[in-house]
């Protein structure tokens, strides 16, 4: 299997059923993609596949053959994607564990919908759980990132 | 986010073997707390203005800058932070206190995480909302000592008197001439100086604080968190590391009968299958046992576990059933229990009351479900071991791992990663002990134990299920003259001692025994309940059921009497005074491990947060149809919090929460921005508890698996507009914590609001579909 990860060409010979998340975390040490539920229920492992937000814990390696994957590490060369900047300006994180997934999901939302409505934000972000309860700030960070972009 | 002052007692109990103090009547653990010490200058090498319970914790406190501060020649100041970071911000806030006192420029400060070593750093049990409460004073002293050492180093360099030298924003200025030396230039000389005696240390005047109380300092890991560089225990990579998952007994104390090792070994990448025996209760934090699969990747280990086909002997807890247990607890709550606090004559007052109101309240088990499931890596090399783990208790983990491996504590290094949430779950180091066992089985090869979400939800230390019965007697003038509260819940002490079959002093201390209600005849009782699973502290612990029952009941009486909920709550709290339950308790009294004189029950503060929350929420304002306001207050972890919740209930019975106003009095505060984040998060967790969260048991087994059936709050489902109102306090008012106290008032304020909106009273949590059914 061949794929691109953060613009780099990669090839993979292992179990084609293995979820992309474990390949990223265990083999490439790209641990910004977090393990939260392993069942596509919490969003902590969100990455972009061909620009779309995907739960990497439930997409098998065989399904990303020939595709291009972007992780939080590749979202921006200097860590200053507008969503990342908005996250810091709003002091969003508490423990921080879910935030890479939240940011990846929000970045995908804003690349498709420049100025999402409140409901569109809720809809798009419903799959990303934060147990610390940073939702109020996640919402305002997305709003301000949309304004900046 | 963080549990557990009860931990103060637990660590005392479990690590210092003072079981006698807990079980007997001697009050061994608590005796020292009765020394009056409020605002008295402490002796013995401290500049503390008041006493806290910190010295009663393992390791006590350390305030030596030689331990916490180092300065490089380029002026970079490195400050060690010794508490675990799970989202409250203490990893930033405590070093910020040091930096402020030592006049360091925050932009030139680096923070380094201490390994587990309580002899060196002082207590590291990050729970009980204690980090600021116990360490603001030692950290101020530490920073002030460092400042004076730098001033002295400059004085020696210039050959002038110390009094002519003043530390100011990362340099020392010679006041008469204006010449200065940077901290980097003074580093070597200052580091060679002895730590000044406490009696010679002068703390800054609070008017000179640059960072403390200001809220402009962002958390130190902010950039790394937003770029994926922040490292949690699940992210640890060690050279040559193997990966393990464990099939644990579905029923606590269950044993392995058989399993298919050959099938697991056939899975490509699987290296070894290891059986781990369970530990009989009380097992403290010993692993549950089971069958581990060790492999070259997490995925291979998980695939191996799938085909193990383990057969279990379920053992003594196999018939644990939540529904049946609720009935049993109700029976207990409806008969006289053990008297825990007694004032006046409740029986007589109830018999003579014009009206008697009685209600029951129920709250189920919860699992913490931190976003990062537990994980730990251990490597053993000869007689040394190294641990990487997301533990709230680095010191306790170190001693437990040392004991398990038969090593000296000095030969065990516990590296504390960031914690992807904790909420009390990660105070228990069972997962680190599993990793140690498995590394040992591999001859010391580093092994990472990964808990999946299912493992986390099915094998936690659960928040205690509880049943509360409250009976109030009201006289002909509408005054409450009798209050009888019967509380029934299995005890978390069952992990540490033979099951006491009722809430312990520590659990009663969690927001029941200290009730401030101004009722002449008051009796608090406990009923019997047996622990059939592992009970553990969950963010704010028994404060949740205690506050739910008391604060719901107050609103129920108000409704019965046709009084305003808020006015009646203030009437129940009574006039501003110090409530002292010490004389009327019948067993030991626990005040979060801290002295009553420093942290009394002060109803002026209880009243104030109620009044502020109500005023800020616009109590009494005109609301749209289907909306309602509810209020509740709780002193927990020595912090006073009142919350007003606004609900909106549609005609299908769907409840949303358009607005929350919370007033918090945590004494003198360090980082208002992080207090707001804790209160916003507490509202989300509070609403999760109120609407969705429950763990249930059938045939001894947890019935929930993952976030599809263990439902937690998602974005937009309420609590998106949480407004935090921090009571301003001067530095003389002892600081208390903020991680937990936001949670307890939320659920009762929420159900009180539902009542205001609909006239329907919710007494069993979670709400679920009770309004739509």
Per-residue pLDDT tens over the stretch B565-610: 999 999 999 999 999 999 999 998 999 999 999 999 999 999 999 9
Cβ <8 Å between B715 and A27:
no
CA B668 centroid distance within chain: 19
Same domain flag for B339 and B363: yes
Average pLDDT over residues B45-51: 84
- Residue B682 inside a domain? The answer is yes
User: Nearest chain A Cα to B687, which residue?
Assistant: A133
Same domain flag for B417 and B475: no
Name the 3-class secondary structure at B93.
Answer: helix
Same domain flag for B154 and B274: no
CA distance B645 to B179: 57
Whether the pLDDT of residue B402 is over 50: the answer is yes
Out of B201, B230, B259, pick the residue that ends a domain: B230
Q: Give contacts of B370 with chain A, Cβ < 8 Å.
A: 95, 97, 131
Cβ <8 Å between A136 and B721:
yes
**Which of B390, B715, B717, B721 to mutate against chain A (most A CBs within 10 Å)?**
B715
Dump pLDDT digits (tens) for B227-247. 999 999 999 999 999 999 999
User: Nearest chain A Cα to B218, which residue?
Assistant: A91
Same domain flag for B640 and B696: yes
Predicted structure pTM score: 0.95
Tokens coding B705: 């698996």
pLDDT score, position B47:
83
Out of B400, B430, B450, pick the residue that ends a domain: B450
Whether the pLDDT of residue B561 is over 90: the answer is yes
Q: What is the mean pLDDT of chain B?
A: 94
Same domain flag for B654 and B520: yes
Tokens coding B299: 């995925």
Q: Give contacts of A34 with chain B, Cβ < 8 Å.
A: 232, 234-235, 371-372, 420
> In angstroms, what CA-CA distances link B95 with B195, B235, B601?
18, 25, 30
Average pLDDT over residues B197-211: 95
- Residue B10 inside a domain? The answer is no
Whether the pLDDT of residue B2 is over 80: the answer is no
Residue partners of B736: CB distance under 8 A and separation at least 6: B129, B132, B133, B599, B637, B638, B639, B666, B667
Same domain flag for B677 and B692: yes
Q: Say yes or no: ipTM exceeds 0.85.
A: yes
Average pLDDT over residues B20-39: 28
Q: Give contacts of A141 with chain B, Cβ < 8 Å.
A: none
The pLDDT confidence band at residue B46, using thresholds 50, 70 and 90, is confident
Q: How far is the alpha carbon of A4 from chain B, nearest alpha carbon, in Å?
A: 19
> In angstroms, what CA-CA distances link B554 with B382, B602, B757?
62, 19, 17
Name the 3-class secondary structure at B73.
Answer: coil
Q: Give contacts of B713 with chain A, Cβ < 8 Å.
A: 133, 135
Which residue range forms the structural domain that includes residue B144?
A: 39-230
- Does B401 or B48 have the greater pLDDT score? B401
Q: How many residues are recorded in chain A?
A: 149
**Nearest-CB residue to B218 (from A19, A38, A91):** A91
pLDDT score, position A15:
96
Instruction: Parse chain A into domains and list their residue ranges.
Output: 2-74, 82-148
Average pLDDT over residues A87-111: 98
Whether the pLDDT of residue B32 is over 90: the answer is no
Tally of structural domains, chain B: 3
Average pLDDT over residues B727-734: 97
**Which of A41, A59, A133, A136 to mutate against chain B (most B CBs within 10 Å)?**
A133
CA B72 centroid distance within chain: 35
User: Nearest chain B Cα to A57, which residue?
Assistant: B299
Q: What angle do CA A71, B217, A148 make, to 5 degrees?
A: 50
**Nearest-CB residue to B453 (from A36, A134, A139):** A36
Same domain flag for B213 and B331: no
pLDDT score, position B12:
39
pLDDT score, position B29:
27
Same domain flag for B285 and B221: no
Cβ <8 Å between B715 and A29:
no
> In angstroms, what CA-CA distances link B686 with B282, B419, B608, B758?
30, 21, 22, 20
Name the 3-class secondary structure at B673.
Answer: helix
Whichever domain contains B48, its CATH number is: 3.30.365.10
Same domain flag for B416 and B564: no
Whether the pLDDT of residue B3 is over 50: the answer is no
- Could you identify the residue written with the tokens 């049990």? B125
Whether the pLDDT of residue B1 is over 60: the answer is no
> In angstroms, what CA-CA distances link B666 with B7, B393, B636, B729, B746?
20, 24, 10, 8, 17
Dump pLDDT digits (tens) for B345-391. 999 999 999 999 999 999 999 999 999 999 999 999 999 999 999 99
Cβ <8 Å between A136 and B680:
yes
Cβ <8 Å between B88 and A94:
yes
pLDDT score, position A149:
66
Q: Give contacts of A42 with chain B, Cβ < 8 Å.
A: 371, 453, 707
pLDDT score, position B751:
98
Q: Give contacts of B91 with chain A, Cβ < 8 Å.
A: none
CA distance B117 to B28: 26
Q: Give contacts of A139 with chain B, Cβ < 8 Å.
A: 715-716, 720
pLDDT score, position B369:
98
Out of B198, B230, B262, pick the residue that ends a domain: B230
Rounded percentage of chain A residues whose pLDDT exceeds 90:
98
Whether the pLDDT of residue B34 is over 60: the answer is no
CA B343 centroid distance within chain: 31
Q: How far is the alpha carbon of A76 from chain B, nearest alpha carbon, in Å?
A: 9
Q: How far is the alpha carbon of B499 from chain A, nearest alpha carbon, in Å?
A: 31
**Nearest-CB residue to B707 (from A42, A95, A125):** A42
Whether the pLDDT of residue B6 is over 90: the answer is no
pLDDT score, position B25:
29
Q: How far is the alpha carbon of B684 from chain A, nearest alpha carbon, in Å?
A: 5
Q: How far is the alpha carbon of A46 from chain B, nearest alpha carbon, in Å?
A: 12
Average pLDDT over residues B167-176: 98
pLDDT score, position B24:
31
Q: Are B199 and B139 in contact (CB under 8 A)?
A: no
Q: How far is the alpha carbon of B414 from chain A, nearest alpha carbon, in Å?
A: 20
Kindly report the backbone phi and psi dihedral angles of residue A107, in degrees, each rounded to the nearest multiple of 5, phi listed first.
Answer: -65, -40
Dump pLDDT digits (tens) for B406-451. 999 999 999 999 999 999 999 999 999 999 999 999 999 999 999 9
Same domain flag for B700 and B743: yes
CA distance B676 to B674: 5
Q: Where in B73-227 does DSSP place strands (E)?
A: 77-81, 109-113, 165-168, 171-174, 180-182
CATH code 1.10.150.120 for A82-148: yes
The candidate with the shortest Cα–Cα distance to B305, out of B289, B318, B290, B315, is B290
For the sheet with B77-81, list strands across it.
Answer: B69-71, B77-81, B109-113
Tokens coding B550: 């008391």
**Nearest-CB residue to A73 (from B228, B303, B681):** B228
Rounded percentage of chain B residues whose pLDDT exceeds 70:
94
Whether the pLDDT of residue B31 is over 60: the answer is no
User: Nearest chain B Cα to A132, which residue?
Assistant: B681
Same domain flag for B96 and B175: yes
- Residue B393 inside a domain? The answer is yes
Residues facing B601 on adjacent strands: B579
Cβ <8 Å between A133 and B685:
yes
CATH (residue range A2-74): 3.10.20.30
User: Does residue A4 have a cis peptide bond before it, meaning omega lies within 30 degrees of 0?
Assistant: no
Cβ <8 Å between B707 and A99:
no
Size of interface A-B (CB pairs under 8 A): 194
pLDDT score, position B492:
97
Dump pLDDT digits (tens) for B96-127. 999 999 999 999 999 999 999 999 999 999 99
Average pLDDT over residues B503-507: 97
User: Nearest chain A Cα to B685, which residue?
Assistant: A133
Q: Which residues of B682-695 are buried (b: 16+ CB within 10 A; e: fewer)?
A: bbbbbbbbbbbbbb
CA distance B254 to B461: 16
User: Nearest chain A Cα to B454, which residue?
Assistant: A37
The pLDDT confidence band at residue A83, using thresholds 50, 70 and 90, is very high
pLDDT score, position B45:
63
Q: Are B432 and B285 in contact (CB under 8 A)?
A: no
pLDDT score, position A148:
79
Start-end of H helices in B666-762? 672-691, 746-758
């Amino acid at each position: 299997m061949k794929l691109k990860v953060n613009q780099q060409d990669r090839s993979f010979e292992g179990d084609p059923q293995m979820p992309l998340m474990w390949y990223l975390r265990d083999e490439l040490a790209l641990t910004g993609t977090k393990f939260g539920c392993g069942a596509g229920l919490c969003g902590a492992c969100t990455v972009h596949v061909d620009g779309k937000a995907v739960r990497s814990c439930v997409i098998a390696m065989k399904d990303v053959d020939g595709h291009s994957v972007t992780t939080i590490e590749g979202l921006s060369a200097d860590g200053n994607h507008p969503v990342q900047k908005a996250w810091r300006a709003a002091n969003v994180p508490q423990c921080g564990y879910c935030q890479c997934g939240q940011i990846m999901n929000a970045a995908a939302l804003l690349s498709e919908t420049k100025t999402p409505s409140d409901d569109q934000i809720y809809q798009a972000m419903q799959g990303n759980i934060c147990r610390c309860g940073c939702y109020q700030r996640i919402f305002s960070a997305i709003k301000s990132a949309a304004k900046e972009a | 986010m963080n549990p557990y002052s009860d931990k103060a007692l637990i660590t005392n109990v479990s690590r210092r073997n003072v079981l006698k103090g807990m079980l007997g009547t001697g009050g061994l653990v608590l005796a020292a707390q009765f020394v009056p010490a409020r605002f008295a200058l402490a002796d013995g090498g401290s500049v503390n203005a008041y006493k806290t319970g910190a010295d009663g914790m393992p390791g006590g406190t350390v305030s030596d800058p030689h331990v916490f501060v180092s300065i490089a020649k380029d002026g970079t100041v490195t400050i060690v932070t010794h508490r675990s970071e799970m989202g409250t911000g203490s990893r930033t806030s405590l070093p910020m206190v040091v930096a402020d006192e030592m006049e360091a420029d925050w932009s030139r400060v680096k923070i380094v995480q201490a390994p587990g070593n309580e002899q060196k750093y002082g207590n590291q049990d990050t729970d009980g909302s204690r980090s600021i409460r116990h360490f603001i004073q030692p950290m101020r002293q530490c920073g002030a000592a460092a400042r004076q050492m730098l001033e002295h180093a400059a004085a020696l360099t210039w050959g002038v008197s110390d009094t002519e030298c003043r530390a100011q924003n990362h340099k020392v200025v010679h006041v008469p001439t204006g010449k200065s030396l940077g901290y980097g230039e003074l580093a070597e000389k200052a580091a060679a100086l002895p730590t000044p005696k406490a009696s010679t240390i002068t703390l800054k005047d609070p008017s000179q604080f640059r960072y403390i109380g200001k809220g402009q300092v962002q958390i130190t890991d902010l950039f790394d968190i937003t770029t994926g560089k922040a490292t949690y225990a699940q992210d640890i990579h060690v050279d040559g590391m193997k990966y393990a998952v464990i099939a644990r007994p579905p029923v606590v104390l269950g044993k392995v009968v058989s399993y298919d090792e050959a099938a697991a070994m056939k899975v490509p990448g699987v290296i070894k299958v290891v059986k781990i025996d369970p530990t009989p209760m009380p097992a403290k934090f010993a692993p549950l046992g089971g069958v581990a699969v060790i492999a070259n990747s997490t995925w291979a280990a998980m695939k191996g576990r799938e085909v193990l086909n383990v057969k279990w002997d379920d053992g003594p807890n196999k018939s644990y059933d939540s529904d049946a247990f609720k009935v049993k607890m109700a029976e207990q709550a409806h008969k006289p229990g053990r008297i825990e606090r007694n004032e006046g004559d409740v029986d007589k007052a109830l018999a003579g009351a014009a009206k008697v109101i009685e209600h029951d309240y129920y709250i189920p088990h919860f699992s913490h479900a931190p976003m990062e499931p537990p994980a730990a890596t251990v490597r053993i090399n000869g007689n040394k071991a190294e641990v990487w783990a997301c533990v709230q208790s680095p010191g306790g983990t170190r001693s437990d791992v040392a004991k398990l491996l038969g090593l000296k504590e000095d030969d065990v290094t516990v590296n504390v990663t960031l914690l992807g949430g904790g909420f009390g779950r990660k105070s228990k180091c069972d997962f680190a002990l599993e990793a140690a066992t498995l590394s040992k089985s591999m001859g010391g090869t580093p092994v990472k134990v990964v808990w999946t979400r299912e493992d986390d939800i099915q094998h936690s230390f659960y928040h205690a299920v509880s049943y509360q019965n409250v009976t109030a007697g009201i006289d002909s003038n509408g005054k409450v003259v009798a209050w009888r509260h019967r509380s029934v819940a299995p005890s978390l002490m069952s992990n540490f001692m033979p099951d006491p079959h009722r809430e312990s002093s520590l659990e009663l201390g969690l927001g029941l025994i200290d009730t401030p209600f101004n009722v002449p005849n008051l009796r608090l009782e406990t009923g019997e309940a047996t622990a059939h699973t592992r009970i553990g502290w969950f963010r704010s612990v028994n404060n949740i059921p205690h506050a739910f029952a008391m604060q719901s009941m107050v609103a129920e009486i108000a409704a019965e009497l046709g009084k305003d909920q808020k006015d009646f709550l203030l009437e129940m709290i009574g006039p501003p005074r110090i409530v002292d339950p010490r004389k009327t308790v019948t067993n030991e009294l626990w005040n979060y491990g801290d002295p009553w004189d420093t942290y009394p029950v002060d109803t002026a503060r209880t009243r104030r947060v109620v009044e502020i929350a109500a005023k800020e929420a616009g109590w009494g304002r005109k609301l749209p149809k289907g909306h309602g306001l509810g209020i509740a207050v709780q002193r927990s972890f020595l912090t006073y919090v009142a919350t007003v919740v606004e609900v909106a209930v549609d005609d299908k019975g769907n409840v949303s929460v358009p607005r929350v106003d919370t007033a918090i009095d945590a004494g003198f505060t360090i980082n208002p921005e992080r207090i707001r984040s804790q209160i916003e998060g507490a509202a989300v967790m509070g609403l999760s508890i109120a609407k969705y969260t429950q763990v249930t048991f059938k045939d001894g087994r947890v019935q929930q698996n993952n976030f599809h059936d263990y439902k937690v709050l998602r974005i937009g489902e309420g609590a998106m507009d949480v407004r935090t109102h921090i009571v301003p306090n001067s530095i003389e008012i002892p600081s208390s914590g903020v991680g937990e106290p936001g949670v307890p008032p939320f659920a009762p304020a929420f159900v009180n609001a539902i009542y205001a909106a609909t006239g329907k009273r919710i007494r069993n949590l979670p709400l679920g579909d009770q309004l739509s059914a």
